[in-house]
């Protein structure tokens, strides 16, 4: 019988893993042609506005393949903020048997995204980071900064948000973790004061132009 794991169980297992290292190894495997990842499936919604993504793949030398369904809605009836949910299904190669269902509520998606940002910064960020700039006050705006900690030695953060209430909530959540947080309603402040900038919004129009970003 297939096993089902809930979010609490998944988070407990994650404590013993190294997501940044796992994601980096995944990028290497993909670059070496050792991973099969078909094009992403996508459904976009207008009323209510949102999207569902279906992703799938497997490693050539592994015994399993996965299918992930992740949805995000920008005007949830039960919340004024962006909401998301999803799950991951793990199947056995050769038989197609469902091995387990991970009811992760998009948490593994969020971990993967944040860990990928850390891998990016590990190899591409400037050597000396003066201040981490963040565009966005949501889940990724928080997790990207937390996952940078093992690879970037900087606790100075400047965050941009749509309104001061969201910025205040962000500061209240992040400062107990050891970060010194400045808030701003101007993206140009981010460009002027930060030499590592994380973009974490669902915006479909530019929030910051390249000519404003520091060149060094």
CATH number at residue 183: 3.40.50.720
Both tokens assigned to 171:
């500061």
Q: What is the domain range of residue 163?
A: 127-212
- Are 20 and 99 members of one domain? yes
CA atoms of 77 and 66, how far apart (whole Å): 31
Q: State the first-to-last Cα distance of the chain, in angstroms, to the nearest integer.
A: 56
Question: What residues have CB less than 8 Å from 95, skipping those under 6 apart?
Answer: none
Q: Look at residue 63 and give its three-state secondary structure.
A: coil
Question: What residues have CB less than 8 Å from 113, skipping those under 6 apart?
Answer: 140, 143, 144
Is residue 115 in a domain? no
User: pLDDT tens, position by position, for the chain (216 residues)?
Assistant: 899 999 999 999 999 999 999 999 999 999 999 999 999 999 999 988 899 999 999 999 999 999 999 999 877 555 555 688 999 999 999 999 999 999 999 999 999 999 999 999 999 999 999 999 999 999 999 999 999 999 999 999 999 999 999 999 999 999 999 999 999 999 999 999 999 999 999 888 999 999 889 876
- Are 10 and 85 members of one domain? yes
CATH of the domain at 43: 3.30.1780.10
- Are 8 and 102 members of one domain? yes
Look up the pTM and report it: 0.91
pLDDT at 132: 99
Element spanning 172, H or E: helix 164-174
pLDDT at 77: 56
Characterize the bridge pairing of strands 83-92 and 50-59. Answer: unpaired
pLDDT at 202: 83
Domain count, the chain: 2
Question: What residues have CB less than 8 Å from 51, skipping those under 6 apart?
Answer: 42, 43, 44, 45, 71, 72
- Are 136 and 96 members of one domain? no
Is residue 28 in a domain? yes
- Are 24 and 94 members of one domain? yes
CA atoms of 11 and 133, how far apart (whole Å): 27
């Amino acid at each position: 019988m297939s096993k089902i794991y809930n979010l609490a169980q998944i988070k407990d297992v994650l404590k013993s893993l190294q997501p940044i290292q796992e994601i980096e190894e995944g990028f290497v495997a993909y670059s070496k042609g050792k991973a099969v990842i078909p094009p992403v499936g996508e459904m976009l919604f207008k009323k209510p506005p949102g999207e569902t993504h279906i992703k799938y793949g497997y490693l050539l030398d592994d015994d399993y393949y996965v299918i992930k369904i992740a949805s995000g809605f920008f005007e949830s009836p039960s919340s004024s903020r962006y909401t998301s949910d999803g799950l991951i299904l793990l199947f056995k190669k050769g038989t197609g048997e469902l091995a387990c269902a991970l009811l992760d509520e998009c948490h593994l998606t969020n971990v993967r995204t944040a860990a990928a940002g850390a891998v990016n910064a590990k190899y591409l960020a400037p050597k000396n980071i003066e201040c981490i700039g963040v565009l966005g006050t949501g889940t990724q705006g928080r997790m990207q900064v937390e996952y940078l900690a093992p690879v970037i030695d900087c606790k100075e953060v400047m965050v941009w948000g749509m309104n001061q209430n969201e910025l205040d909530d962000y500061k209240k959540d992040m400062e107990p973790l050891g970060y010194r947080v400045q808030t701003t309603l101007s993206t140009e402040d981010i460009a002027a004061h930060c030499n590592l900038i994380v973009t974490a919004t669902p915006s479909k129009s530019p929030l910051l132009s390249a000519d404003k970003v520091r060149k060094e």
